[in-house]
Structure 1
């Protein structure tokens, strides 16, 4: 009997998606405001005003989308895809050197650093998460204040809360460690410019400058 051939790789599961819900809400509101203001100028304006309003909308809308709705991070067992305002970076786990969160979340690969725009680091949230938790007496110890006496079985210490960005970075580090040796996680870093954002924004700027110059 011939032995059955074993699969050389494990299946890749659906991407985990990381994005800022606050940025999405902000983007939707800004797009609605831009549509209202520019639309009103197009309908009620006279002379070159409607054209200037269209140029502003053509320039502003892609930039709003780029910095609010577009940023996202997609991660699976083989690779990390980082969608930043103007670039799409694809990083196989085998090419990733480190994932860290300092003043911003970032991934290091091939001697370069790529920021994760959709994983904002809040220093205030991090400071709050690492602040020592007080007990029933507000954490005060001193004269006239005694520590509460534990009764019954010793309770396990509660897990220390972590900032949202640090939790995401921990998950990405875990995926990187588990996926670095996978055959499907090998290769180099690929970077592609988001021409669907850059081209209309530049066209809007050129049109706006031309209209303003023409008076």
Structure 2
């Protein structure tokens, strides 16, 4: 009797700024909403409750929920309202423009919400690359800190990184492309693309919208 090999561990990619922003938003919304429910008069508690049911799932959907999970067999993309599972054998390519996207061989494409493009990060990386080139970051020329050296933040110097500096999200996309190249033809990386709606987000949001509309209509 043969057993299937264990699935490799997922590498998880998320946006730290989205997590921090989402947590702060939930704290503020929860504080204001609960205060209105407890202390409000007339229709205010019901309106506040409906608004909470609508807004909280949306905040979670666009901040805390997005994540990309990658292992040796497949890519799982958790976007605000959908979960897309793509075996590596079905991935055609990744594209990075104003957003990061994955294209599948069936003709579809899906945005990677958890890996937002940072134009500011790219400009910062470009400036660092220019400074490395001007200062001999690969060991040619002395530069300000000597050939191939940079400050380590503690009064010393460490070797400068080889090659051009990349923005963090671009590094993640490079990692995904390398995994695609290595695992795209593997037997365990074949299968079909699966898409599932996030009813745990859509359901409460729709319920909150309906309840809020009824309360506003009733007056």
When the two structures are superposed, what TM-score results if normalisation uses the length of structure 2? Answer: 0.83
Task: State whether structure 2 residue 188 is matched by structure 1 residue 184.
Answer: yes
**Counterpart in the other structure of 1:204:** 208
Task: State whether structure 2 residue 109 is matched by structure 1 residue 113.
Answer: yes
Distance in 2 between residues matched to 1:185 and 1:83, nearest whole Å: 19
**Counterpart in the other structure of 1:134:** 131
Q: Judge conservation of contact 1:74–1:80 (CA < 8 Å) in 2.
A: yes
Q: Judge conservation of contact 1:9–1:184 (CA < 8 Å) in 2.
A: no
Q: 1:133 to 1:54 in 2, by over 3 A?
A: same
Q: Secondary structure of 1:13's partner?
A: coil
Distance in 1 between residues matched to 2:215 and 2:77, nearest whole Å: 36
Task: State whether structure 2 residue 90 is matched by structure 1 residue 86.
Answer: no
Task: Choose from 62, 85, 96 the match for 1:101.
Answer: 96
Q: How much does 1:61 deviate?
A: 0.4
Q: What residue ranges of structure 2 are gaps of 5+ in the alignment?
A: 149-159
Q: 1:51 to 1:182 in 2, by over 3 A?
A: same
Q: How much does 1:130 deviate?
A: 2.2
Q: Secondary structure of 1:133's partner?
A: helix
Distance in 1 between residues matched to 2:132 and 2:112, nearest whole Å: 37
Aligned residues: CA RMSD: 2.7
Q: How much does 1:177 deviate?
A: 1.2
**Counterpart in the other structure of 1:64:** 59
Q: Render the CA deviation track for 1:49-99: whole Å, top value 9, x for unaligned.
A: 100000000000000000000000000000000000000000000000001
When the two structures are superposed, what TM-score results if normalisation uses the length of structure 1? Answer: 0.85
Task: Choose from 12, 17, 21 the match for 1:22.
Answer: 17
Q: What residue ranges of structure 1 are gaps of 5+ in the alignment?
A: 140-147
Count of residue correspondences:
200
**Counterpart in the other structure of 1:174:** 178
Q: Judge conservation of contact 2:135–2:142 (CA < 8 Å) in 1.
A: no
Q: Render the CA deviation track for 1:153-178: whole Å, top value 9, x for unaligned.
A: x8698332101111001110111111
Task: State whether structure 2 residue 28 is matched by structure 1 residue 33.
Answer: yes
Q: 1:136 to 1:115 in 2, by over 3 A?
A: closer
Q: Judge conservation of contact 1:19–1:118 (CA < 8 Å) in 2.
A: yes
Higher relative contact order (CA 8 A, sep 6+): 1
**Counterpart in the other structure of 2:169:** 165
